[in-house]
Chains A and B, each alone.
Chain A
Amino acid sequence: MVYPKSENKLSIMTQSLVQIIQKLSLAQTLADVIEITRKAARKLTGADGATFILRDGHLCHYIDEDAIAPLWKGMKFPLQTCISGWTILNQKEAVIEDIYTDPRVPVDAYRPTFVKSLVMVPIREKHPIGAIGNYWASSHKATEEELELLKALANSTAIAIKNVQLMAALKKANSELEHSIQLRDEFLSIASHELRTPIATLKLQLQITERRLKSELAEVSPAVRDTQDCFKISLRQISNLHRMVDQLLDLSRIRLDRVELCYSRFDFTELVSEILDQHMSELIAVGCAVERDFSAPIIGDWDRMRLEQVIGNLLTNVVKYAPGLPVQISVTEDEEKKSVQLSVKDHGPGIAKEDQDRIFERFERANLAPNTGGMGLGLYIAHQLVKSHNGKITLKSEKGNGAQFIVDLPVRPALSCAGGMTT
């Protein structure tokens, strides 16, 4: 019976087409597309040969082929003189049973070949960018199915080529963007490095003079007290400046997820203690009573410098937003989960539920205590650095009822560093 046989054949062809289309959707380069298509074009119809043609200005370029004998691989012909050109210019397929009787075919070009019949379909329906040809050595009138299969292939090829072009454009745009970002980062790095020297100089000078003032002057007259206050103010402003410069540098390095961490093994509890000590004078100066709850050492692998910043940023926020009130700092280890928690709990104004997601974003600031500046980066940076360690920061707070920041870090986020690890 003819019917079941041709039905079978069609379903096999359709399955083939599906596979080919899947392959095309994964093609990364034009060469990939050409390679897939030239073989597919012939396999689909069982023809004796297939060609892949791309339009090149006013020429047709027979880029590649798959055939029982050579055809025109690598050759170019003016659009007006060849059947592929006709297909491209007229934006429709050509089905030719006998090439020697069709006026559109340049028979001289065909005489040295095996071709007797052909089908040519355009790649892309509107303003075709090329064509796919199928050739038979004997007289053959292409069936409806063969034509439909070829057209489906040609359409998929058009999409695949568009894809490849878009990917190339995207890659180029990305690399230009990367380059700009790199220039920006280098600038920020140099700028913040340079800014540190005058800051260091001013800071040292103020501290030396403040110390001198304390030790040399036995009597504390109003004039002396005023002068001491001036020094306190200057030192505070220098601290602000220092912090902002650090944040600028960090911002340049935190580009979405690209932070290079350098892990080393140390005691987390000891680090928290050290950073807390560093901020103690600031905390005392604004009237924050500090309660510590940590003792046991917790050894793990983290980026020490980055965690210094995280802890420092949280403490700075306490000074900024909850001055004059107690603050509880605790460190605990969850041995089962192999993680460590740092909790910084203040009794300041708290953060309303609707604002809680926002505060981890860049440039978000609440109402600040007087004399403190900030660019709204502290929590954003802390969040990014904790995330880079595969950890998380959570906030528990109610408006009017203080805020508790909990930093949760795995004890061993990654392998130790031998030169930095990019995550």
Chain B
Amino acid sequence: MNAQVAKSNHILVIDDSSDLLVLIQLALQNEGFRVTPVENGKDALAFLETRADLPGLILLDLMMPVMDGYQFRREQLKMGPDIAQIPVVVMTANYDLTSLKHLNVIDGYIRKPMELDDLISVVQTRLKDHSASI
């Protein structure tokens, strides 16, 4: 399982705006990453549970219907070390960062609207870090 995560180029993106999902996928694919887009936390958990294709990084929107980012994070941390340890970068339109402490330690945040360059560099840095720590 460790080996699988170490070579991952795979990013799971969770956001309820399907348009934004398409664009983030496009932006990251242009840089050579593989992207799985998901529209809510519940579907994301179901995807992770199958363990068929674990990502090396999760980009997580916070405000989503059905299951929001906070709840997803709580559930993710309960799911066994291979899933709990996947780094998470939060995407938030909320400019009040004090609420982020409810997520437990995360690996970074991007504010929406984001700069394309920032999105790419955060993904590159966080993916690389995780692989390095194995």
Q: How far is the CA of A193 from the CA of B16 in the complex (A)?
A: 14
Binds A, one of B48-56, B67-75, B79-87, B110-118: B110-118
Q: Does B106 contact A (CB under 8 A)?
A: no
Question: Do residues B94 and A193 form an inter-chain contact, with CB atoms below 8 A?
Answer: yes
When C-beta atoms are compared, the residue in chain B nearest to A304 turns out to be B97
- CB of A193 within 8 A of CB of B93, answer yes
5 example contacts (A-B, Cβ-Cβ < 8 A) are as follows: A193-B63, A196-B93, A197-B20, A203-B114, A207-B116
Chain A contacts of B20 at CB under 8 A? Answer: 197, 200-201, 204
Alpha-carbon distance between A204 and B115 when the two chains are bound, in angstroms: 7
Interface size class of B (residues with CB under 8 A): 20 to 34
CA A284 to CA B73, docked complex, whole Å: 41
Are A305 and B112 interface neighbours, CB within 8 A? Answer: no
Measured CA separation A220–B26 after assembly (Å): 24
Complex: how many Å from CA A200 to CA B63?
A: 14
A208-B116 in contact given A196-B93, A197-B93 (Cβ < 8 Å):
yes
Most buried by A among B19, B94, B97, B113: B113
B30 within 8 A of A: yes
Nearest A-chain residue to B116, judged by Cβ:
A207
Chain A interface size, as a band, is 20 to 34
In the complex formed, the residue of B with least CB distance to A205 is B23
B58 within 8 A of A: no
With A207-B116, A305-B97 known, 15 other A-B pairs at CB within 8 A are A193-B63, A193-B94, A196-B93, A197-B112, A200-B113, A201-B17, A203-B113, A203-B115, A207-B115, A208-B30, A212-B30, A262-B97, A262-B98, A417-B98, A419-B98
Is the CB of B57 closer than 8 A to any CB of chain A? no
Q: Is A307 an interface residue (CB 8 A)?
A: no
In the bound complex, residues from chain B placing their C-beta under 8 Å from that of A271 are none
Contact residues of B between 100 and 130, Cβ < 8 Å to A: 112-116, 119
**Is B6 located at the chain interface by the 8 A CB criterion?**
no
The CA-CA distance from A197 to B24 in the complex, in Å, is 13
Kindly state the separation between the CA atoms of A211 and B95 in the bound complex, as whole angstroms.
27
Residues of A within 8 A of B (CB): 193, 196-197, 199-201, 203-205, 207-208, 211-212, 238, 242, 246, 249, 262, 278, 305, 417, 419-420
Q: Which of B27, B94, B112, B119 lies at the interface centre, i.e. has the most chain A CB atoms within 10 A of its CB? A: B112
Chain B residues lying within 8 Å of A199, measured Cβ to Cβ, are 113
**Contacts A208-B26, A208-B30 hold; do A200 and B95 have CB atoms under 8 A apart?**
no
The reply to whether A305 and B95 contact each other, CB–CB distance below 8 Å, is: yes
CA distance A419 to B100 in the complex (A): 12
Question: A207: which B residues are within 8 A, CB to CB?
Answer: 27, 115-116
Report how far A197 CA is from B62 CA in the complex, Å: 12
A420 CA to B98 CA, complexed, in Å: 8
Closest to B94 in A: A193
For A202, give the chain B residue with the smallest CB separation: B113
Closest partner residue, chain A, to B110 (CB atom): A200
Report yes or no: B17 in contact with A204, Cβ–Cβ below 8 A: no
Question: Across the interface, which residues of B come within 8 angstroms of A419, CB to CB?
Answer: 98
Minimum CB–CB distance for A18 against chain B, Å: 52
Assess whether B113 is in contact with A242, with CB atoms less than 8 Å apart: yes
B67 to chain A, nearest CB (A): 18
Of the candidates A203, A205, A249, A278, the one whose C-beta lies within 8 Å of that of B95 is A249
A242 vs B93: C-alpha distance when bound (angstroms): 11
Question: Which 8 interchain pairs have the tightest Cβ spacing?
Answer: A200-B113, A196-B93, A207-B116, A200-B112, A204-B23, A203-B113, A199-B113, A201-B20
> When the two chains form the complex, which single residue of B27, B63, B94, B112 contacts A208, counting CB atoms closer than 8 Å?
B27
Most chain B CB within a 10 A radius of its CB, from A201, A204, A208, A249? A204
